[in-house]
């Protein structure tokens, strides 16, 4: 009976580990088509688009257009591949009353705020700049995905946050839009 139990556990472990997949979101924020090879699969990514590749976990090889070869052990469920080696900005967006903008506590500083430089612009806030080729997805909305104007929250919550990744063109368009709105 003990052998049967151990064999059952082993079989269950093998079966559940075989069901896991790793998804690669290969992003191309540029205005030119981009080529990348994942193991032996040649992937063409259209301009300003993303192509999804599904594969099993473990070590895989990425070959970029400049013939750089990157070997990586993929264990998480979703990664963004920055094959163009562009800069991306990860921003935390607040919905509701921002906890560090409470009028009862003026001057309260957000401990998560820091200064970063993105595309030559100094920014202060809850930002992170991504330049790596392989990035574990830890955000809610990727490049060129729109944030919702409103979200549903529990009545006991005063705020919620979503993380959004901006590609260079999207960020510049956002700055231009803010400038145009300010000028009106």
Confidence band for 180, pLDDT divided at 50, 70 and 90: confident
Domain membership flag for residue 13: no
Residues 69 and 30 in one domain: yes
Residues 102 and 143 in one domain: yes
Is the pLDDT at 142 greater than 60? The verdict is yes
Per-residue pLDDT tens over the stretch 1-25: 444 444 444 444 444 455 699 999 9
Residue 179 is predicted with a pLDDT of: 82
Residue 3 is predicted with a pLDDT of: 47
Confidence band for 181, pLDDT divided at 50, 70 and 90: confident
Is the pLDDT at 146 greater than 70? The verdict is yes
Residues 114 and 178 in one domain: yes
Per-residue pLDDT tens over the stretch 51-92: 999 999 999 999 999 999 999 999 999 999 999 999 999 999
The distance between the two most distant Cα atoms of the chain, rounded to a whole number of Å, is 79
- Provide CB contacts within 8 A for 22, sequence distance 6+: 54, 55, 56, 57, 74, 75, 76, 77, 78, 79
Domain membership flag for residue 12: no
Question: Euclidean distance between the first and final Cα of the chain, in Å?
Answer: 79
Residues 178 and 96 in one domain: yes
Confidence band for 106, pLDDT divided at 50, 70 and 90: low
Residues 31 and 104 in one domain: no
Residues 142 and 106 in one domain: yes
- Provide CB contacts within 8 A for 78, sequence distance 6+: 22, 23, 24, 25, 136, 137
Residues 96 and 159 in one domain: yes
Average pLDDT over residues 97-117: 75
Residues 98 and 72 in one domain: no
* Distance, C-alpha 92 to centroid of its chain: 12
Is the pLDDT at 110 greater than 80? The verdict is no
Domain's final residue, options 56, 82, 108: 82
Domain's final residue, options 82, 112, 135: 82
Residue 170 is predicted with a pLDDT of: 95
Give the angle 170-86-93 at the CA atoms, nearest 5°: 45
Average pLDDT, the chain: 87
Domain membership flag for residue 62: yes
Tokens of 162: 């979503």
Helices (H) and strands (E) in the chain, counts: 2, 13
> How many domains does the chain fold into?
2
Residues 153 and 69 in one domain: no
Average pLDDT over residues 132-157: 92
- List Cα–Cα distances, 131 to 39, 52, 84, 90, 134, in angstroms: 22, 20, 10, 11, 9
Residues 106 and 159 in one domain: yes
Determine the structural domain holding residue 113 and report its residue range.
88-183
């Amino acid at each position: 009976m003990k052998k049967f139990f151990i064999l059952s556990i082993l079989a269950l472990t093998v079966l559940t580990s075989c069901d896991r997949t790793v998804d690669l979101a290969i992003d191309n924020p540029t205005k030119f088509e981009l080529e990348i090879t994942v193991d032996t699969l040649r992937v063409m990514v259209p301009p300003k688009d993303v192509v999804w590749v599904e594969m099993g976990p473990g070590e895989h090889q990425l070959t970029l257009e400049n013939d750089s070869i990157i070997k990586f052990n993929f264990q998480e469920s979703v990664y963004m591949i920055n094959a163009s080696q562009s800069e991306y900005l990860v921003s935390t967006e607040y919905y509701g009353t921002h906890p560090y903008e409470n009028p009862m506590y003026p001057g309260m500083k957000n401990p998560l705020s820091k200064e970063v430089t993105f595309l030559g612009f100094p920014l202060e806030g809850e930002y992170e700049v991504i330049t790596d080729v392989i990035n574990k997805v830890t955000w809610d909305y990727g490049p060129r995905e729109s944030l919702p104007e409103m979200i549903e929250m529990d009545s006991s919550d005063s705020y919620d946050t979503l993380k959004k990744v901006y590609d260079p063109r999207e960020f510049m368009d956002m700055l231009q839009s803010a400038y145009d709105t300010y000028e009106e």
